[in-house]
Amino acid sequence: MKKSTLLGLLVLVIRRDLVLAMRRRADVLTTLIFFVMVVSLFPLGVGPEMSMLRKMAPGVLWVAALLSSMLSLGRLFSADYLDGTLEQMMLAPQSLSMLVLGKMTAHWMVSGLPLVLMAPVLGLQFDMPVQALGVLIIGLLLGTPVLSMVGAIGAALTLGLRGGGVLLSLLVLPLCIPVLIFGTGAVEAVSTGLSVASHLSLLGALLVLALVFTPWVTAQALRISME
Amino acid sequence: MLEVSNLACSRGDHRLFSGLSFMLHPGQIMQVQGANGSGKTSLLRTLCGFMMPDEGDIVWRGESIRELDEEYYAEMLYLGHLNAIKDELSALENLQISAGLSGIELDEKEALAALRRMGLRGRERLPTKVLSQGQRRRVALARLLASDAALWILDEPLTALDVGAVELIQELLAEHLARQGMVIFTTHQPLQVAGAEMRSLSLS
């Protein structure tokens, strides 16, 4: 029997959540299919006018990504809460924040990363230029982890509540507005020929801020929910 | 050594118990008794630090568990009503992960040996959703074999277990006490542990 390290613990939690996600593939696919459906409905609903589609593309893609990440947040802690694993996580002799960070990372890899990879394909439906697609991907790459991390706070606070899903969206969506603004702002800037550096730097700053604070806040929220 | 002094606990407005004091020394085992709803689980959960007591203090090796936090958790093991095992994972994966969460890296050989001792030979690699209730409990209890914690807090460890498994648990408890371990548990079934005097605490 060997003692495990903090990094070992992080890897263990991420691997565990990924294995579980692979064995429950339907959950992962719903998020992705929802994203594809919502984005695809717009060109059908609005009509094939290219200039309009190009203009609304970043907004539609970002809002759809935001909504589909909400969809999977409820599952972040609920399964572990119901089967008692979360109790055992609280009793782990290492820091609970680290465990939470592991769960957030796995959640992003399962529900955020597929959206990022799918976005350029969907962007083509809106006739987005290649340059704008590139900025969109970078923006999503920086922004979706923030959605997972901020969402985790809401998921921890609404744990075990009936009708927690709606409450979760009400709590988390307002907090995600800055990500939405800077994410779409970056794509619009590149379309109009302005510099994207400021928008992307701000997104990066949000990511760093979330990375530092949200695991700890989520861990505290979980402790409150478990009482 | 676990020392509880003047502990009071309530659920909502309902006072479960108050003025509870006891000491648990190495090599001692204590059974918490009481009717349904008398606060046995709440007491054990308070000892784990999940719930804040209304009054009183819980002291582990001379320091309050509030201050020790992670140092205390490294020395205790809690098994509750919930098995904390995942249906999608095999018994082996479940054991390795739950041991990993409690800070112990278990290689495959050690994990298999623990599961076999729990009577799960031939079922180590099956997803736990195909196992029976008693077998799942055995998977959860296999953690006792893969732990070096000094204090075991067991909430109804015998639920869904057959006679053979109950004997096995008695053996495990006796071994743990012989290593100067400590056990505090609840059960509604008779349980004898060889070579140790069973202390009991009644909640009413």
Which residues are within 8 A (CB) of B86 and not within 5 positions of it... i.e. 6 or more apart?
A: A20, A79, A83, A85, B93, B94, B97, B128
Domain that holds residue B33: 1-75+151-204
Residue B189 exposed, middle or buried by CB count within 10 Å (0-12, 13-18, 19+): exposed
Give the CA distances from residue A68 to residues A14, A73, A183, B33, B116, in Å, rounded to whole numbers and listed in that order: 21, 9, 16, 49, 44
| Count of domains forming chain A | 1
**Inter-chain touch B84–A87, beta carbons under 8 Å:** yes
**Inter-chain touch A83–B98, beta carbons under 8 Å:** no
Cβ-Cβ contacts under 8 Å, B159 against chain A: none
* pLDDT above 80 for B190: yes
| Residue A100 identity (one-letter amino acid) | V
Contact indicator for B120, B91 with CB cutoff of 8 Å? yes
Q: Are residues B144 and B161 in the same domain?
A: no
Residue B80 lies in a domain: no
Instruction: Give B82's DSSP letter.
Output: S
Dihedral (CA of A103, A104, A105, A107) sign:
positive
Contact indicator for B162, B135 with CB cutoff of 8 Å? no
For position A161, what pLDDT does the model report? 84
Q: What is the dihedral of CA B175, B176, B178, B180, to 10 degrees?
A: 170
Residue B4 lies in a domain: yes
Which of A2, A20, A89 is opposite residue B101, by nearest beta carbon?
A89
Put simply, the chain A residues between 6 and 45 with a CB less than 8 A from any chain B CB are 8-9, 12-13, 16, 19-20, 23-24
Residue A106 lies in a domain: yes
For position A81, what pLDDT does the model report? 92
CB contact B48 to A (< 8 Å): yes
Q: How far apart are CA A1 and CA A22, in angstroms?
A: 29
Q: What is the pLDDT of residues B1-12, one digit of tens each?
A: 899 999 999 888
Q: How far apart are CA B153 and CA B48, in angstroms?
A: 8
**Inter-chain touch B86–A85, beta carbons under 8 Å:** yes
Q: How far apart are CA B117 and CA B144, in angstroms?
A: 11
* Domain endpoint, select from B148, B176, B196: B148
Residues A123-141 as b/e (b if ≥16 CB within 10 A, e otherwise) read bebbebeeebbbbbbbbbb
Question: Do strands B55-60 and B76-79 pair parallel, antiparallel, or not at all (unpaired)?
Answer: unpaired
Q: Are residues B140 and B115 in the same domain?
A: yes
* pLDDT above 80 for B132: yes
* Domain endpoint, select from B101, B123, B148: B148
Run of H or E residues at A187: helix A164-191
For position B204, what pLDDT does the model report? 77
Q: Are residues B141 and B101 in the same domain?
A: yes
Residues in chain A predicted with pLDDT less than 70, given as ranges, are: 1
**Inter-chain touch B105–A99, beta carbons under 8 Å:** no
Cβ-Cβ contacts under 8 Å, A25 against chain B: none
Residue B47 lies in a domain: yes
- Nearest alpha-carbon partner for A190 in A134, A114, A140: A134
Say how many CB pairs under 8 Å bridge A and B. 91
For position A1, what pLDDT does the model report? 62
B177's tokens: 């006490």
Q: Are residues B134 and B177 in the same domain?
A: no
For position B67, what pLDDT does the model report? 85
* Domain endpoint, select from B104, B133, B148: B148
Question: Do strands B2-11 and B14-24 pair parallel, antiparallel, or not at all (unpaired)?
Answer: antiparallel
Contact indicator for B137, B166 with CB cutoff of 8 Å? no
Contact indicator for A128, A57 with CB cutoff of 8 Å? yes
Q: How far apart are CA A156 and CA A217, in angstroms?
A: 9
A75's tokens: 């599952």
For position A30, what pLDDT does the model report? 92
Residue A35 lies in a domain: yes
| Count of domains forming chain B | 2
- Nearest alpha-carbon partner for A149 in A110, A100, A115: A100
Instruction: Give A211's DSSP letter.
Output: H
Cβ-Cβ contacts under 8 Å, B137 against chain A: none
**Inter-chain touch B101–A99, beta carbons under 8 Å:** yes
Instruction: Give B127's DSSP letter.
Output: B
Residue B10 lies in a domain: yes
CB contact B146 to A (< 8 Å): yes
For position A150, what pLDDT does the model report? 96
ipTM: 0.89
For position A201, what pLDDT does the model report? 96
CB contact B175 to A (< 8 Å): no
pLDDT band at B198 (very low <50, low <70, confident <90, very high): confident
Give the CA distances from residue B178 to residues B28, B193, B197, in Å, rounded to whole numbers and listed in that order: 9, 11, 12
Run of H or E residues at A197: helix A197-226
Cβ-Cβ contacts under 8 Å, A12 against chain B: 97, 100-101
Q: Count the alpha carbons within 13 Å of A103 in the hemisphere toward its beta carbon.
A: 30
Residue A1 lies in a domain: no
Q: Which residue of A has its CA nearest to B12?
A: A227
For position A31, what pLDDT does the model report? 92
Q: Are residues B10 and B48 in the same domain?
A: yes
Distance from CA of A11 to the nearest CA of B (A): 10
Run of H or E residues at B184: strand B182-186
Distance from CA of B201 to the nearest CA of A (A): 24
Query: Rounded to two decimals, what is the model's pTM?
Result: 0.91
Give the CA distances from residue A103 to residues A89, B23, B89, B137, in Å, rounded to whole numbers and listed in that order: 11, 38, 17, 25
Domain that holds residue A14: 6-226
Q: Which CATH number goes with the domain that contains B187?
A: 3.40.50.300
Q: What percent of chain B has pLDDT over 70?
A: 100
